[in-house]
Structure 1
Amino acid sequence: IVESEVNGKQTITYDINPKAKWSTGRPLDYRDLVANWTSQNGKDTAYEASSTAGYDRIESVVRGTTDQQAIVTFSKKYGDWRGVFYPLLPRENVDTADHFNKAALTTFPATAGPFRIKNIAAGGKRIVVERNPDWWGENKSVLDTISYIPLDQSAAIGALQSGEIDQMELGSDADSFKVAKGIPNVDLRQSLGYQYRHFDFNGAAGRITADKAVRLALMKAIDRDFLANAQLGQITSKPAVLDSHLFVNGQKGYQANNGDITFNPDQAKKELEAAGWVMAGDFRKKDGKQLDLHDVIPSGASNASQEAQVMQQNLKAVGANLIIDTVPSDDFFNKYILVGAFDVTHFTWEGTPFTSSSDGIYRLTPGITLQNYGQIGSPQINALADTALTETDDAKRLADYNELDKQVWAEGHSLTLFQRPSTYATKKNLANFGAPAFGDQDMSKVGFLK
């Protein structure tokens, strides 16, 4: 990959390994990059892209001297250009809006890597991958097959106990952590990681949380230190709140940008009062409407339930009534979060090395949700995001993103709670697998000790 400037425009030349093939046997070529750009640049809204960051700044993707060379030209400079085509999807999956939106719902037409799909059980309840004989990488995979079984947290820990599975990610589930510690021949492997919990508001018109003053007040009513200790105290010796939306602890660029948004219930009461919400019995009312907030959480997620109960008490102390709505985990995103059917919610974001990957979470684009499910933002946030995306100097870009984060806090977009350590429970003899911190897991090297 070569970055250069051609006719005053940022240009990236990709030379694709001539040995690289998709699992269908077709070589990777420049047309795969064209299809990925076309499907994610935002020009055709029929493609339901979660983010258009970077792709919307590409002017063209054309063939170079061979089919295995792609020349990408940006219309505007893009500092995080390494984040585009990451991952690269086969064009068969994204060449039409229908394929882009639905091709991977029940199967995956083509893959690339040390493994390929062997079979997918009906309903997707078990996915088996096998060694890819056409893998062109340095290492042939150690394992012949890997089976993936989708289970909720409570079922997964039982499967680990019975030996049905060899590893599970524990997240911040203290109960599962305790059980895993007592399972013979199981290791607990932990590191810093990109995952973090957050509390989101719905800013749609007609919602109580459409009022920024209410959002900011409620944020001050939630005891994040207590939540971090309650969720992580038995998992890590250093539970801490997260005071950035764009970086996590241990990542270059991280700094606290929360300003005066700290646990301060007295201040929360004053601000709710100033916003017109006055106490009437146990809870506040305004214009005859009680301060009721429906908190939508998925079933089977004990950490979400525990968080909700703590926040319910926190908010009750300032006169807000948090109503916990537990919905089927399979419906949580599709039927509630993606369509804005919530007042508040909380779940886990998975960060990446590319800060621009968060662009769709905080950018407000009329008619396009991306990952900004609560539809909260401002022209200033959009402008700062544009500035950060354009900056090619790494240090300046990190500074730009921190300025952006300050505005995200000031807008009351969402409340970051705490960063979850990357914690895995694995069979003791499972090698080269666990908690990779900010690195990638090389599945070709994973195997069992003899």
Structure 2
Amino acid sequence: MSYDGVGPRAPKGRGELRDQPRRARRRPTAPHGPSRGALRSVVFLSVSALALAGCASEDPAGKPLAGQDIAPAARSLVADGGTLRWAVDSVPETLNTFQSDADATTTRVAQAVLPSMFRLDANGRPEINPDYLESAKVVETEPKQVVLYKLNQQAVWSDGREIGAADFAAQWRALSGKDSAYWTARNAGYDRIERIERGANDLEVKVTFGRPYADWRALFSPLYPKDVMGTPDAFNDGARRKLKVTAGPFAVKQVDRKDDEITLAPNPRWWGSPAKLNEIVLRAVPRDERAEALAAGTLDLAEIDPETVRRIGLASRAGGKGTSTPLQGATPLAGPGGEATAAEALRGFEIRRSLEPAFTQLALNGADGPLADERVRRAVARALDRKELASVVLKPLGLPVEPVGSHLALAGQAAYADNSGALGGQDTAEAQALLADAGWVPGGPVKQEKGEKAAGAEGKKDAEKKGEKEAEGDDGTYIVGDEKAPAEADREQKRHDLKQGGAPGAYAPKGTAAPAGAAPGALAKDGKALTLRFVLPSGPGSETLRTVAERIRRMLDRVGIRTELSKVTDESYFKDHIASGEYDLALYSWPASAFPATDARPIYAKPVPAADGSLNVEQNYTRVGTDQVDQLFDQAVSTLNEGETKSLIRKADSRIWAAAGSIPLYQRPQLTAAKTNLANVGAFGFQTPVYEDMGFLKKGAKPAAGPSNKP
């Protein structure tokens, strides 16, 4: 797992508690507890309001906030030959994408060397891949769903065998979940297939489903040969370290674990447009070492952090003035023209930027403690100015500043709609009213345990640092603890009083006036201060993430919620804290999927008790879920009406917002340093890369105009 300054990504297949049901495990974009009670109807939107939040008269999916930035060029402008040295986070443990330890590099290799029946377009929507398919469609719905694939007649494996029904059937059997000898990480969709057979000829594959499956386009992408999928031994071990048989524009030439490299070479049996490059070398380079590797000339392409963006920007500006200005801390490098500075070496690179198909969220652990109360979670959410948090990350990079409005899709994708209204925007008075409703009030007595600072003292110390004066409550005025939740009319009056200057977050016995103009102090209930543990990774490259956390801390402080920032090592951050539930607040990222009914369900599924008394949370690391959300996912994945599927997904998202287990903040920036003469490669956004078109421009050639993602 790596950290790139904008938030860790939740890794695929890692940290799940207990053995997972055989369902899709969400892929990483790579970084980057006991169930709660039912929704409290007195605080939340009605079902009809939520339904309205999920639907609109016009399609709200919109367009992607940023386009690709890949220096697009016609193939005629790209030179034949050359080696592209491309930084990756690691040489993967497996080249089988269906195993639990597959990572982002596994996916990158698979995209270049294996068939994919569908690929994603610029809007993050699946489209037929014509290199492998002439057509694919549902040809029957009654009595059962039948999908007919018509294969490209030129499509063959690298050993000369035609791609056909035997390969589809072998992959289905391996991933169906019926044979536990296959060590599979995800089986969603394959477990609904009843049979696979040859169609009218060898180029047709007929797939019959035992249960309807809306996301059938997600299947067989990638497709492995029957040599890999045919037996458990071949599946479990045969494709981990090598892929002998492939069917893409490239093939795996070498996996060098000593030098941490994977070399891809053109596939001589490829029937499509021939690859422009002679080789692609995927080289494992830590993110905090990539600036030096670029300057040293050992990389041509690398995803980078904002600090490296700054360094390259400085180098470019210095070069434009005809000067040679060493960057602070830069090491002089020897080059063909004599000694040059790192700044000079970086002038041959440019920054290509877009938004990654992934979003960073604030996760709220609803397993126990204050956040087990939905009102407190909602108060945290209502305290946040998500626009400000997005601006902190995206504005300095020249990228569109727009908070993410959905847990299940991003702008431009078919299922996207901004459903954040189901929870509501930033509202300090509402946040304080929710906290008071939950019994958390300022001025309450706090039992100070041995070795623990009183929350009031901490709050006072923080206030002194900021030059502010915090109000001190009278123990006889405010009630903490066992009081019943007030009626809705009382809450409305309370919110009115807060807006008029009453004591934020507090409510008093009838007839007791709250001190006007009081600033929020530390809150307490039952003798315990309201303090949340905010866990963060401490490694290099996470500076932006820690800046976002500090902004969140200040926002929560304004409504009386204290936070303790706890920095832990990168290695233990996800495994020992997020997955195991040892946190109150955390920042991490999830990728967006073109198939949210399948891929997002395990992330938001309601945790259920297992036979041994433990809790099976799947990938729901916030431990917040509802039966309603589960039902909506089940309905969405089982309908073959695409409009109805979108509507159900949006309704599910509205309810996920209302439960406030996680708060989407911003789409992750995608920052790539590329040699200025590299074409058709860079920040890909949603769209699947076209590996055969990547290459170096011919001398004097210029790429086409790209998107306006530049600052």
Give the aligned partner of residue 354 of structure 1: 595
Give the aligned partner of residue 307 of structure 2: 175
C-alpha distance after superposition, 1:170-201 (max 9, x if no partner): 4xx43232223233122223345522212223
C-alpha distance after superposition, 1:23-66 (max 9, x if no partner): 57665443443344345455667877665543343233345466
C-alpha distance after superposition, 1:331-357 (max 9, x if no partner): 544554444444433223222333333
Quick one: higher RCO (CA 8 Å, sep 6+), 1 or 2?
2
Contact 1:298–1:304 (CA under 8 A) maintained in structure 2: no
Range 54-63 or range 236-245, more displaced: 54-63
State whether structure 2 residue 587 is matched by structure 1 residue 425.
Answer: no
Give the aligned partner of residue 242 of structure 1: 404
Q: Percent identity?
A: 31
Gaps of 5+ in 2: 1-135, 316-345, 443-454, 460-521, 611-615, 699-711
Return the offset for 1:128: 2.1
**CA RMSD for the aligned pairs?**
3.3
Decide which of 139, 142, 148 is 2:273's aligned counterpart: 139
State whether structure 2 residue 324 is matched by structure 1 residue 162.
Answer: no
> In 1, distance between residues paired with 2:601 and 2:188?
6
C-alpha distance after superposition, 1:198-251 (max 9, x if no partner): 2223333x4543333332222223332222111111112531111111221233
> In 2, distance between residues paired with 1:301 and 1:402?
34
Contact 1:192–1:437 (CA under 8 A) maintained in structure 2: yes
Give the aligned partner of residue 414 of structure 1: 662
Return the offset for 1:131: 1.9
* 1:149-228 superposed matches below 5 A: 149-170=283-304, 173-181=305-313, 182=315, 183-204=346-367, 206=368, 208-228=370-390
Gaps of 5+ in 1: none
Which residue type is aligned with residue 128 of structure 1?
T
> In 1, distance between residues paired with 2:577 and 2:182?
20
Aligned residues: 445
C-alpha distance after superposition, 1:350-371 (max 9, x if no partner): 2233333323322336355443
Return the offset for 1:287: 4.6
Which residue type is aligned with residue 147 of structure 1?
V
Structure 1 residues 381 and 112: alpha-carbon distance in aligned structure 2, compared to 1, 3 A threshold: same
Give the aligned partner of residue 5 of structure 1: 140
> In 1, distance between residues paired with 2:642 and 2:254?
43
Return the offset for 1:407: 0.7
Give the aligned partner of residue 261 of structure 1: 424
Contact 1:51–1:359 (CA under 8 A) maintained in structure 2: no
> In 1, distance between residues paired with 2:361 and 2:183?
23
Q: Give the TM-score of the pair, scaled to structure 1.
A: 0.85
> In 1, distance between residues paired with 2:188 and 2:261?
33
Contact 2:406–2:420 (CA under 8 A) maintained in structure 1: yes
> In 1, distance between residues paired with 2:425 and 2:617?
29
Return the offset for 1:139: 1.5
SS of match in other structure, 1:273:
helix
Return the offset for 1:3: 2.0
Contact 2:607–2:624 (CA under 8 A) maintained in structure 1: no
Structure 1 residues 12 and 105: alpha-carbon distance in aligned structure 2, compared to 1, 3 A threshold: same
SS of match in other structure, 1:198:
strand
Decide which of 103, 113, 116 is 2:251's aligned counterpart: 116
Range 296-305 or range 100-109, more displaced: 100-109
Larger Rg: 2
State whether structure 2 residue 554 is matched by structure 1 residue 313.
Answer: yes
SS of match in other structure, 1:353:
coil
Which residue type is aligned with residue 267 of structure 1?
E
Give the aligned partner of residue 76 of structure 1: 211
Structure 1 residues 180 and 351: alpha-carbon distance in aligned structure 2, compared to 1, 3 A threshold: farther
SS of match in other structure, 1:352:
coil
Decide which of 140, 148, 162 is 2:282's aligned counterpart: 148
Return the offset for 1:421: 4.5
Give the aligned partner of residue 445 of structure 1: 693
Contact 1:51–1:360 (CA under 8 A) maintained in structure 2: no
Q: Give the TM-score of the pair, scaled to structure 2.
A: 0.56
> In 2, distance between residues paired with 1:49 and 1:202?
28
Range 248-257 or range 104-113, more displaced: 104-113
